[in-house]
Structure formats: structure tokens, C-alpha cells
Structure 1
Amino acid sequence: MVTRQEQLLDAAIELIGSQGIRSLTHRGVDAEAGIPAGSTSNYYRTRDALLEAIVARFAERERLSWEAIAGVVQPSSPKELAAALEHFVRDATGPSRALTLTRQLLFAEAAQRPSLQPVLASNAKAIRAWGAQWLKAVGSAHPERDCQIVLNYLDGLIIHQLAFPETPFSPARPLLGLLKALIAS
């Protein structure tokens, strides 16, 4: 069962992803969550406290999402891994668009607020570990290096698709090409 604080933080994540970081106010979160005015400030007295709690909740949700993916995705070829990554990219730029935008905005906020970086960096480390395992399974001789390259490519691909949507959007072929090139090197 979701706690009141999780409900507030999930509403804040949705608010940021749908309206931008400037929309993050205590009243805005109250309205997004559909709860009485003043509720958010009862838990988080300042915007900084609210932002830190949002980052922690976001990181928890992202970790759980990647754990679910890691439990299902067991690629045995570059083609299978490219298909899984394409599915991820399509979800990130489609149904999970608001969550993806929140991720990008929180990363930008962390560039200005170093106190937010440790939680986000810890998640990134876990994601790189899963990615390195997948790359090793499909034949990479340098899975950690290759994983960083793939993740950087995915970030760029996702940001570009969010900002300048292409239709039709078909990232499978470029993803497969990148994976094959990395494995061959």
C-alpha cells in the first residue's frame, strides 16, 4: 500500500514531468495529489526538503523498474538486447514520458545542487551493473566500457525523441549497429 508521503512524492514526480521543475510548489503538489492544501508542507517544510525527498522517491521507483527489467531481460544475442533496449526507449518516450522528463529535469537540478547527486549516482551505478551483465552475455569483451557508451547513447536518443519527435520512430537498427560495433571492437 502506498503511504501518504509516497502519494505526495509520486504526484510531485508527475507534476515535474508534465509541467516542468518551475511548477514544483507545495500547493502544486497538493493539487496534483488531490489532497487538502497544506498537506505537502506538513511533511516537507521547504522546497529543498521536498526536492530531496522527490529525488529519493524517484530513485526508488527507477531502481524497482530496472530490477523488473533485469528480471525479465536475459539477452543471448545483440539482436535480442537491441530489441529490449528499443522497447525501453519506446516506453521512456511514450507511456513513461512524464517520468522520463522528470529524470532529465532532476539530473539538471543535481548539476546545480550537489546534495542530490549521491542518490542519483547510486542508481546509475546499479543500472550500469545490469547493463554490463547484458553486454557480457551478448559477447562484449569490455562490458563496463560498452555499457557506459550504450547508456550515453540511450540518453541522447531519448532526449532527442522527447524534444524533436520523429515519426516513424524506429531505434532498433541503430541500436543493433551500435551493439555490433562495440562487440567487434
Structure 2
Amino acid sequence: MERRDVLADAAIAVLARAGSRGLTHRAVDGAAGLPEGTSSYYFRTRSALLQACVDRMAARTLSEMASGASAGPTTVDGLVAAAVATVGRWLADDRERLLARWELALESTRRPELGAALRAAGARVRERVAATLAALDIAEPERRAHDLVACLDGLAFDQLAGAGRAPRDTAALRAAITDVVRGFTGSS
């Protein structure tokens, strides 16, 4: 793994653990187990460090999507299963990345350049989702991809950080995602 990736992963961990205010070059160096000054050598400014987080998260997400593309869903039920697996992974294995993404989203409301980077990364993810929807002959795949991703993000947010109901078990999560996907696909 390249040093830039190690540092970006450490910055993502710091964002998840300490929030945006806790993201400093010193904290990233410590999280990466590298000498002080290492992260500022690779990412001179805090903005560059934030950009590195966006780039690394997007690269990892797109890589994961590509690795599953060869066995991508071929039915609406397969789409539901893939969506349930994705949200389940976000809540368990990728909890840190999810929290960091939300920290970046909040920070982007005050930093237009960060907002532009997040929108560009999100557009690449939504393009892949739209391609999946198009392959399933679902009408308006671009619009529905945007809405589907937003709904899945909302379900994950409610589970992890929201003030909603008690945590959903896998069956309840599957039921909610089934309702969302079937609503977007027009299937019953």
C-alpha cells in the first residue's frame, strides 16, 4: 500500500473517531504510526488532507463496486440482496468510513471545494448504480439511482447516528430496503 493511502486511511480513522475538528496532521501521523510531519509532507494543507479522504473513500467504494460487478444483480430480488448486504457492511465493517463520510459532508457545507469533490465522487458511485438499474430495465435509472443511494444512506444514518427507532435486525433492514427498491422499480 502506498504511503498516501496509509495516511488517507489514518485520516479517515481520525475523522470517524474525533470528528472534523480532531483532524490534524499530528493526529493523522499518530494514527498512522508515522513520525510527525509525515502527513504534512504528503498533504501540505488541511484542505489537501480532506481531499485525500474523499479520494481514498471514493476509490475504495468504486473498487468494491467493480469487484462485485461481474456477479452484479440480475433481478430485482438480487438488487435487494445486494443493497441489504451493502448497508449491512456499512454498519458493521465500514462503520468508520461511513462516519468519516458524514463528517466530510458536514464540513463540505462550509467548504465549497470539498462539496464539489464529494459531489463528483458521489456521481461516480451513482453512475454505477444507474448502470445496474438500467441493466435491470428499470425506467429512469439515473434519477432512481440518485434516490436509491440517498435512501440507503438515510437508512444507514438512522441506524448508526439517527434518533429513529431502535436498531433494526437484518430482517427489518431487508424489509425496509425491499420496500424502497420495489418502490423505485415499480415491482410488487
Return the TM-score normalized by structure 2: 0.87
1:184 matched residue in structure 2: 186
- Residue ranges of structure 2 left out of the alignment (5+ in a row): none
Contact 1:15–1:29, Cα closer than 8 Å, also in 2: yes
Could you tell me how far apart the structure 2 residues matched to 1:183 and 1:43 are?
45
1:114 matched residue in structure 2: 112
Deviates more, 1:51-60 or 1:105-114: 51-60
Any idea what SS the aligned residue of 1:128 has? Answer: helix
Displacement of 1:100:
0.9
1:86 matched residue in structure 2: 84
Could you tell me how far apart the structure 1 residues matched to 2:132 and 2:52 are?
31
- Is 1:30 equivalent to 2:36 in the alignment? no
Contact 1:14–1:102, Cα closer than 8 Å, also in 2: yes
TM-aligned CA distance change 1:120 to 1:69, over 3 Å: farther
1:125 matched residue in structure 2: 123
Match among 125, 146, 149 for residue 147 of structure 2: 149
Q: Which runs of 4+ in 1 moved over 6 A?
A: none
1:51 matched residue in structure 2: 50
- Is 1:140 equivalent to 2:138 in the alignment? yes
TM-aligned CA distance change 1:180 to 1:59, over 3 Å: closer
Displacement of 1:51:
1.9
Count of residue pairs the alignment pairs up: 183
Contact 2:55–2:121, Cα closer than 8 Å, also in 1: no
Q: Percent identity?
A: 34
Displacement of 1:54:
2.5
- Residue ranges of structure 1 left out of the alignment (5+ in a row): none
1:42 matched residue in structure 2: 41
1:16 matched residue in structure 2: 15
TM-aligned CA distance change 1:12 to 1:76, over 3 Å: same
What is the CA deviation profile of residues 60-101 of structure 1, one whole-angstrom value per residue up to 9, with x for unaligned ones? 22222222233332x222111101000000000111100111
Could you tell me how far apart the structure 2 residues matched to 1:168 and 1:98 are?
20
Deviates more, 1:86-95 or 1:76-85: 76-85
Name the amino acid aligned to 2:180.
L
Could you tell me how far apart the structure 2 residues matched to 1:160 and 1:48 are?
29
TM-aligned CA distance change 1:154 to 1:15, over 3 Å: same
TM-aligned CA distance change 1:60 to 1:184, over 3 Å: closer
Contact 1:139–1:183, Cα closer than 8 Å, also in 2: no
Displacement of 1:144:
1.7
1:101 matched residue in structure 2: 99
Return the TM-score normalized by structure 1: 0.88
Displacement of 1:3:
1.8
Any idea what SS the aligned residue of 1:171 has? Answer: helix
Could you tell me how far apart the structure 2 residues matched to 1:66 and 1:107 are?
21
